[in-house]
Chains A and B, each alone.
Chain A
Amino acid sequence: MSRLIVGPFNRVEGDLEVRLDISAGMVADARVVSPLYRGFEAMLVGKPALDALVYAPRICGICSVSQSLAAARALAATGSVPVPANGGLAVNLIHAVENVADHLTHFYLFFMPDFARAVYAGEPWHADAAARFAAVKGTAAQDFLPARAELMNLLGILAGKWPHTLAIQPGGSTRAVSRAELARLGALLAGFRRFLERVLFADALEAVAALSTRDALLAWAEAARGDFACFVLLSQATGLNRLGRTDLRHMSFGAYPSSDGPLFPRGLFRRGVGGVLPVDRITEDVSHAWYQAAPDGAPRPPRDPGMPPDATRDDAYSWCKAPRLEGEVAEVGALSRQLVAGHPLPRDLVARDGATVEARVVARLLEVALVTMAMERWLRAIDAAAPFIDHTPLPAAGEGAGLTEAARGSLGHWVAIQGGRIANYQIIAPTTWNFSPATPPVRPGRWNRRCAAPRCETGRPSRWRYSTSSALSTRAWSARCIDGGASHPRAGPCAGGGLPAPCLAPGAGAGHRRQRRQRWRGRGHPRLGEAATLDGFQNRLGEGAPPLARIDTIEVWPHDGPAPQGFTIAASAAGTVRTGIVPDAATCPACRAELFDPADRRQGYAFGNCTHCGPRLSIVRAIPYDRANTAMAAFPMCPDCAAEYANPADRRFHAQPTACPACGPRLWLEPAPDAGTDPLDAAAALLRAGGIVAVKGIGGFHLACDATDTTAVTELRRRKARDAKPFALMARSVDEVGRYCQLDDAASTLLRSPAAPIVLLPRRPDGPPLPDGLAPDQDHLGFMLPYTPLHHLLLARLEGPLVMTSGNRSDEPQVITNEDARDRLAGLADAWLMHDRAILNRLDDSVVATTSGAPVVLRRARGYAPAPLPLPAGFDGLPPPWPWAGN
């Protein structure tokens, strides 16, 4: 065994050392050392809160804006500081310029020069690569640096300067831009696009963004002539798709928020499966970092103050703390971001080869194309006449987290303020995720893993490739932690959708005495009888089950004592929770029929439902799924409803959210219409007149307007400051959808399914004309059908489809409470159609596309969440499950 110490490393942003233990020519152990400590977190304590905006960007010169943004968001989160639409757009643009410049700086100045090294002199491609990419002297640097400088000119206008701007504030951007400046910014951006399309890609950005498989990428690279194609070919020649392979959870905090969600979402991804990121399960470990151990020895969450440095520890070797997610290493960066976002190209690369050097570089450059196109849209969405900043003051005390994505990966700042001054400030930078020291039990950081496999070429250590870029000036963290233990075994049972009378009816016919008991372990069906009959009963249990029922397991155990009499549903018993909640479901045909039946007591009532349909996850406060644990607890059942609820033969037997006009939620319009006017009639009249109405739905508020009214659509787009992203549409029937779009059976079935998602459908060329502003430059429209009685009643009063877009402002999630709707949708809506059934879980509309008849869920939320996704093979025995929810 011998030890090789490699360093200083070139072309990183900061200082880095690698220690290798070598045995029989192979690397036996690798340690990545960050040898510099700067102490930012301690520095910030005691400073006036807003001074963080001065210090934070100076943590890192290459991701200065990301640091500003994380600080501004953390400060804003200590209170409630709204960001006007322009502020969000301007900050996105500033952030995007930095991130795109970082990707290209990494590519042209840090990464590609390695191909020019003498060690490759024998390769047939070396002479060309050296002429193009040699450090400082190659022609690529001469092309790139002026293009980078001109891109940075956007920041001269938008941010005063780069790096280290103070333009980014909790309430938006200090720098309002005029229409003339918007035009100039557009021209600068066009110049940058031209550089990308002539030099880097030698093809349209759209063509790069559309590459979806490794095969397509290779075919494209054979034909293209730009520097990216050159990389792809060199990567094949040098096998970069086999180097630096990891198999970790990929993590993204999400980036570039807008009124209709972030450009890149927050989440996790591993082995083909996405998941929700439990941010509160991030901790920092100092087992092998030069910090004092916490008194309890445990890793600490970043909300807690860090421990002071301790350079005397013999068991430590780095100034990087080790951030962990649920106790595990996670990978961050452009590849992780694009895997989480679901772009097909990186997903295909990783499915074939794992996360490799090649995949990481491809993801960076793919992101250059995607983000540049998004910048063009954001620029167009800025309204020079509207405000760029909100001046709501910060509270004197509070805590907040600011999460964003630097080019190199997830960045988080956690702040606590007391008396207007910073009481605690903790930073977890991307580099610490990727370059962290080991934590017990030996769980090396990502880079350690990357190093430990390949054969060591002693004497030629410089052939290493690290596509992980590091921003090492960002270290200086403190100790924090969490215990990463798993708590919920991933039990399958996910009942609660009502396994009521119908599925029990067969048993009743067979003359059995049954007892049904709801337990926190799920709903079991203990029963009494002879073995053969009982088997038959068991087999038939699922046959008559209602649409929403799902039996995951049936537990059978012997019964002692006297046989119970009759059929009862026992009260839920306390125990370990193993059930889940079923998704919300669209109004079923029976309930819809009642809605328009003049003889029915629920005719015209906006909140009817039964065991086949209605709100579920959106109204659940706790499990087990009983009315007392839902938003319906506020509405005691009237005798009629209670009778239906108790009758096993009724469609509403144990329908937890059941309601009627006598006892259930009520509907109203604000501002109130003339006395005596039905709120739905008034809302319909407003919509017909071109108004915009906020409509409270199942999982949040929508903003609705007449989809056939060009003026209304344009106005809605202006008020939301929404760029070119298409609006979702709601039509009263499949037939009406068919007037505008081409429909096949698969699409019709999807539209009618209980999930009632937004289905992306190709427009009919011969369809009736619709405003261009609905879905600019799109040949598809996103349609859904009414999925609540309220929607049915509203659509029935109108002649055509409605725009139903999420009710929110830029940078904010969809509004779910009435108070927030009044407050945050002021200026966006002309009226509010509201009700008093609380939405407890926010759920966006799900979005589904069909390809060759097969549905592909693009956004898995209302109607799908929280139904479990099966884990692929290889995940058996995975200890900590990831909580699933609408995302």
Chain B
Amino acid sequence: MNLMPYKKVLDPLVPLIGAFVFVLIWGLCTTLKLVDPFLLPSPLAAGKAMWTGITSGTLSLDMMITIRRTVYAFIIAVAICVPLGLILGSSERIYRSCEFVIDFFRSTPASALFPLFLVILGVGESTKIAVAAFGAGLLILFNTAYGVMNARKVRQAAARVMGASSMKILCGVTLLESLPQTFVGMRSGISFSLVIVIVAEMFIGSTDGLGQRVINAQMIFNMPEMYATIFSAGALGYGLNLLFILTERHFIHWGGK
């Protein structure tokens, strides 16, 4: 019996197996009451809360606000840190002089810097975006600089032999060579931005956004809504990651070749 046709049809469903098993285990935990059902609602109840949130527009609105903050933070991080990474990476000596500061702040949880950002920028919208941009920016900077430093020397030498100027080598060879690593930084950066924006919405104080929705649902024990929001945030992170992978495949097709 030839199973190939079935295999072809079922192949796209393979990534869903993990999600299915997860929901199954969750459902079993609630059915068997392994965890108090008040604290852990069934997947059905959480799904229903998610549907209600989406159809009523409140969840979608909070999601859009969180996306907006994340995108702003990401754009700021990219605009500042990609050019900076290129400059730092093009000279190992300059990079080494800044390496301690970059690694120090990269190892410091961005959320621990909330008080500092609050002092500088106050309690408004800008603080949430700035902290997220700061955390994401360091990831992008680090990866861009390493992408430049690890660019294949043979290609750079070949361009130099062919008479290309330093600027042309930087833009035409080194930049393209560093892009796969830069994209790795950008992909991590956008996920990190999302995490920090949600944490900021939870703890800096906000009237909207997914983080604020999670904390408010927890405060009034609306557990289905809390889990619905948590999974919406997860789905958003997954979607952003997927978008980046597709973009990377499309534009950085020479990566690793």
- The answer to whether A and B assemble together is no
